[in-house]
């Protein structure tokens, strides 16, 4: 349920609304839009239905609308304007399409610094790199752990770029609070509800990747977990889903981008690296992503992909990244954006 407040509502009347909701065991999330202030109501269906007639009778309330979709706080009904997530001054969801780039895994300081310098030159504004890696095989490189986070923080000092890195375990939250700028929740953890609740309590922006088998409703419900725990700064990411097709690593579901934009106010970026698994498919799919409205791209780049400890086959050479960023300019302009 959402409550639309009258423009001239007094502070006292507003407090009455919130108090009444709390008396019914409900939580209020206030959103100050450009035109109006809206209160999102969260709680059980039963309590919402009980509270509704009482809320409608309160002074200062213009209307009460039930949201029939299961996702509430992430929905366009709750917030009409696009959410812009600010990551240390880099805005995701605004006119400029943001490029997040870097290696799949942080392997050592030298390679991290080299790649960071290259992607910065090419126009990336956020650096990526995994320190804790979700690998299919327990025998594969698992990431440098905390040391990887420290290297990322040094790369941020060196380049000025904020860093985006994946968190897999609630027990690591303190280290991520200290070193990371964006907490990435990977495809495999999209429905790890304890992790979603934990990053929901954080003040850091969260990059929530779509799972390889999540429907759009399930995906938006995962984002709802984060918002309902108090963190409004969620960036969505289409990274490909599993289909019958086995020539690509995943099937990049580009139609999800405009569809999610119509359903939600949250920014959404595209990951053609994991979406295709093949280096040569990344430039065309990156362009298609920008053309269909993606607010950003997350791209794997490696200075020596043949020797990469993970995802070498889908890592761009730095020169390919630089070329792609140039080629993306006219595409962005064609859809009223910049890169
Ligand atoms: C990654 O970004 O390196 C990663 C593991 O991505 P995903 O969770 O989309 O597979
Ligand atoms: Mn990867």
Domain ranges of the chain: 2-65, 85-334
Residue 104 CA to ligand 2 centre (angstroms):
4
pLDDT at 57 over 90: yes
Q: For position 102, what pLDDT does the model report?
A: 98
Q: For position 292, what pLDDT does the model report?
A: 98
pLDDT at 111 over 80: yes
Q: For position 32, what pLDDT does the model report?
A: 86
Question: Which CATH number applies to 85-334: 3.40.50.2300, 1.10.3720.10, 3.40.50.970, 3.20.20.70?
Answer: 3.20.20.70
Question: Which CATH number applies to 2-65: 3.65.10.10, 3.30.450.20, 3.30.70.2500, 3.30.70.1140?
Answer: 3.30.70.1140
Residue 311 CA to ligand 2 centre (angstroms):
5
pLDDT digits (tens, 9 = 90+) for 64-85: 998 889 999 999 999 999 999 9
211 CB less than 6 Å from ligand 1? no
Q: For position 258, what pLDDT does the model report?
A: 98
Provide the pLDDT confidence category of residue 12 given band limits of 50, 70 and 90: very high
Q: Whose CA is nearest to atom 6 of ligand 1?
A: 186
Residue 310 CA to ligand 2 centre (angstroms):
6
Q: For position 35, what pLDDT does the model report?
A: 77
Q: In the chain, how long is the greatest CA-to-CA distance?
A: 67
pLDDT at 36 over 90: no
Q: For position 34, what pLDDT does the model report?
A: 77
Q: For position 47, what pLDDT does the model report?
A: 94
Q: Which ligand is closest to the CA of 211, given by its number? A: 1
Q: For position 33, what pLDDT does the model report?
A: 80
Residue 18 CA to ligand 1 centre (angstroms):
40
Name the residue of 211, 274, 297, 308 whose CB sits within 8 Å of the most ligand 1 atoms, as the mutation to test its pocket: 274
Q: Which ligand is closest to the CA of 301, given by its number? A: 2
Q: For position 2, what pLDDT does the model report?
A: 92
pLDDT digits (tens, 9 = 90+) for 232-264: 999 999 999 999 999 999 999 999 999 999 999
261 CB less than 6 Å from ligand 1? no
Q: Which atom of ligand 1 is nearest to the CA of 105?
A: 3
Residue 274 CA to ligand 1 centre (angstroms):
7
Across 90-106, average pLDDT:
98
Enter the pTM of the model.
0.95
- Provide, rounded to the nearest whole percent, the portion of the chain with pLDDT above 90: 95
pLDDT digits (tens, 9 = 90+) for 162-198: 999 999 999 999 999 999 999 999 999 999 999 999 9
């Amino acid at each position: 349920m959402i409550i639309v407040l009258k423009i001239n509502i007094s502070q006292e009347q507003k407090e009455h609304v919130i108090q009444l909701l709390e008396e019914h065991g409900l939580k209020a999330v206030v959103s100050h839009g450009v035109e109006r202030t809206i209160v999102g109501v969260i709680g059980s269906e039963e309590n919402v239905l009980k509270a509704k007639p009482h809320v409608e009778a309160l002074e200062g309330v213009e209307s009460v609308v039930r949201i029939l979709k299961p996702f509430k706080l992430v929905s366009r009904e709750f917030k009409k304007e696009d959410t812009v997530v600010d990551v240390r001054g880099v805005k995701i969801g605004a006119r400029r399409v943001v490029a997040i780039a870097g290696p799949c895994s942080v392997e050592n300081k030298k390679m991290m610094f080299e790649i960071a310098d290259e992607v910065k030159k090419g126009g990336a504004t956020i650096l990526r790199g995994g320190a804790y890696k979700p690998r299919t095989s327990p025998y594969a490189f698992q990431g440098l752990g905390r040391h990887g986070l420290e290297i990322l923080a040094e790369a941020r000092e060196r380049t000025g770029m904020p860093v985006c890195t994946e968190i897999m375990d609630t027990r690591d939250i303190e280290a991520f609070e200290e070193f990371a700028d964006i907490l990435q929740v990977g495809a495999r953890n999209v429905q790890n509800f304890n992790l979603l609740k934990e990053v929901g309590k954080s003040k850091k922006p969260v990059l929530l990747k779509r799972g390889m088998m999540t429907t759009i409703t399930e995906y938006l419900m995962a984002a709802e977990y984060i918002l309902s725990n108090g963190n409004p700064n969620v960036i969505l990411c289409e990274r490909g889903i599993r289909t019958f097709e086995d020539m690509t690593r995943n099937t990049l579901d580009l139609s999800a981008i405009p569809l999610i934009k119509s359903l939600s106010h949250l920014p959404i970026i595209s990951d053609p690296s994991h979406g295709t698994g093949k280096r040569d498919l990344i430039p065309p799919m990156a362009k298609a992503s920008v053309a269909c409205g993606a607010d950003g791209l997350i791209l794997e780049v490696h200075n020596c992909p043949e020797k990469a400890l993970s995802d070498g086959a889908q890592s761009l050479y730095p020169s390919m990244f630089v070329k792609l960023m140039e080629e993306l300019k006219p595409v962005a302009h064609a859809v009223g954006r910049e890169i």
